[in-house]
Structure 1
Amino acid sequence: MEISKKLTEVADLTSRADPSITVLLTGPEERRDEGALALRSLAPWLPGWSILILPSDSGDIRRSQARQRNERLVLISAALTLIAAGAILSGRMVARELEIAREKADFAANVSHELRSPITQIRVKGEALQLGLIDDEEEAREHYDAIVREAERLTRLVNNVLDFAAIERGAKSYTLRPGDLGEAVRAAVETARYSAETRKLEMQLDLPDSLPVVRFDPEAIAQVMQNLISNAAKYGDKGGWIGVSAWAVPDGVEVRVSDRGIGIPAKDVPRVFDRFYRSGDSETRRRKGTGIGLTIVKYIMEAHGGAVRVASVPGEGTTFTIHFPTGPSATSPKERQHGQTSVR
């Protein structure tokens, strides 16, 4: 057949032009090699005939097949890795969402409990006075003092919740100005002293005659001190001790609040400043709290360009240290000219 003869000649020429392949013209009765690189049917011009392209070396076929197999294995492995990674990530995200939901539920329950306690005390003491059940003047004064004390406690709790909400929204700001940190610490201790004494807690204040001037927001630092002292009182034993001290360091001023209470388990120390976090330790759980007080302390100190750190020994007590930098480390030149700084 003239056409097939011509095609055979073309195939031979192609094979000689590229030694790595062999081009064959196969008829209806000829076997088609499975190792072919390409197969092209010549129908309808030559029914049953095909052009077959083969590697010249049979080893090329094996290498080609091995390469294709390896490529498939790589793709399958990559796909399985992505599926596994996605499953693990999804599992972790679900676990974290469940943990956050549990923490928020605990927070709501703890806030409700913390609100109920001072409200109950205020109502009981107030009704006793209103109904004339207290005849003794000294006892009446104690009731009035208790009402004021519980109202202050309620105010601190509400302020913490509101400030925490503002922090979460990124809407909380502070105005820093030069001031006497020693006086701010002294005022906070005096505010907390009466409450500590009712729990038979000894409070010790150790301040030097003077401290370097630092920049701070008085209300915010009062809140920091109240939260730290309240925390020390909560986790301290009745009849225990709370120590507050301050001193100058080369790069600033540090204030320390210590107690001789139950301490913090080592595994919980890295997370004490996390929002909503409360130790799973049974003794800690027994002492109610909102889980946001220390979070607020950390936020305020970082807004002041400072820091807070904690050291604790279970069964012996805990010490929180807050650091205030001296100098213009946290302010711009323009802000320093005006003597105060607003920060978030």
Structure 2
Amino acid sequence: MVLFLTMIIFLLLGIVFFQYRVQKNKDKNLRYIYSKLEDILEKQTGEKLLVVTDDKELQKLLVAINHILVANQITNAEHAKVELSMRKMLSNVSHDLKTPLTVVLGYVEILHTDPTMKEDERQALLKKLHVKTLEVTELIHKFFDLAKLESGDQEIELTRMNLNEVCQNNILSFYDLLTSKGFSVQIDIPDENLYALGNVDVLSRVLNNLISNAITYGEDGKTLGMTLRGDEQVVCIDIWDKGKGISHSHIDKVFERMYTLEDSRNHLYQGSGLGLTITKRLVEALGGEIHLSSTPFEKTVFTIVLKRMIF
């Protein structure tokens, strides 16, 4: 009997000792996790928490913490990117507003200080002044448009759109201009009506931007096309031309805010670097995507992808 009780006592002591060791290891791991996590957050490093443990609950906790760290690192990276973009934008805004405003002030000074100027010269100068003033106004409107889109202040009502009608109306509005410039126009719109979730006014603005761009910077190819196509999930609108295109090294960057090309094919983002950014934000506001592919002097295609609605 004494032997039996002695064995039980030793067994209980073993259990207590084992539990003590387990708890001690757990406390040690928790202290390490706290210390390491504090260090990672303070120094904003890209490290993860790595702890060797058989504790299933602690393993789950580590996985959850590492997911949070990854999300935090992504947020910090995006914040840094936005900050850099904003600094670049402010620099470009200063330059893009300063240049035309300097010209405007010069014209005003000439008109104000030269009483001997002939009437025809005065009218010509006033016409130039008007053009420059419109340039400044348009640039300011672009900045406001982008600010509203990115802040979410601009509410866009989404409804069912007949894309056949939207595409036809927009390409027809450019038909006279295209023919006067000697363009060959290729339109591929199916007989079946394709519907998508969106906003007719917003999509029309996007199409007008892309068609205008294709006319201006695809003029070398003298060909412009619009293709409407779809499957069970999405509807795609292709606006394409055979002009000088965009080199492969620039394709991934042309939609970035304030990205500019000295030899840009796109006057919508040349200088201010806002046109294609606004176009992309508008497409995204419709719940869609926009993509670009380009082989210079063969085919440059902007593709708008929207969710299809089937009734």
TM-score normalised by the shorter chain: which range applies? 0.5 to 0.7
State how 1:236-251 maps to structure 2 within 5 Å. Answer: 236-238=218-220, 240-251=222-233
After superposition, where does 1:269-280 map in structure 2 within 5 Å?
A: 269-279=251-261
Tell me the equivalent position of 1:302.
284
- 1:177/1:265 CA distance change after superposition, 3 Å: same
SS at match of 1:283: coil
Shift of 1:171: 0.6
Who is 1:226 aligned against? 208
Normalising by structure 1, we get a TM-score of 0.50
CA contact under 8 A between 2:221 and 2:243: conserved in structure 1? no
* Letter matched to residue 178 of structure 1: R
**CA–CA distance in structure 2, aligned partners of residues 101 and 254 of structure 1:** 35
Q: Which has the higher strand share?
A: 1
Distance in 2 separating the partners of 1:218 and 1:155: 25
Q: In structure 2, which of residues 250, 253, 263 is the aligned counterpart of residue 283 of structure 1?
A: 263
Equivalent pair of 1:199/1:239 in contact (CA under 8 Å): no
Q: Following the alignment from structure 1 to structure 2, what is the Cα–Cα distance between the partners of residues 171 and 202? A: 40
- Cα displacement string for residues 272-304 of structure 1 (whole angstroms, at most 9, x for unaligned residues): 21112123xx43289545422222222222222
* Alpha carbons 1:104, 1:276 under 8 Å: kept: no
Partner Cα distance (2:94, 2:213) in 1:
19
Equivalent runs, 1:108-257 vs 2, <5 Å: 109=95, 160-238=142-220, 240-257=222-239
Q: CA deviation at 1:154?
A: 10
Gaps of 5+ in 2: 1-38, 46-78, 102-118, 124-133
Which residue identity lines up with residue 285 of structure 2 in the other structure?
A: A
User: Where does structure 1 lack aligned partners over 5 or more consecutive residues?
Assistant: 1-78, 86-92, 116-126, 132-150, 329-344
Deviations 1:206-254 (A, max 9, x none): 2111223222211100011011112212321346211111012231211
Letter in 2 for 1:283: D
Query: What does residue 264 of structure 1 align with?
Result: 246
Q: Does 1:101 pair with 2:87?
A: yes
SS at match of 1:257: strand
SS at match of 1:227: helix
Specify the SS of the correspondent of 2:246: coil
Deviations 1:1-26 (A, max 9, x none): xxxxxxxxxxxxxxxxxxxxxxxxxx
Aligned length: 223
Rounded to whole Å, the distance in 1 between the matches of 2:136 and 2:157 is 25
Return the alpha-carbon distance in structure 1 between the equivalents of residues 283 and 144 of structure 2. 18
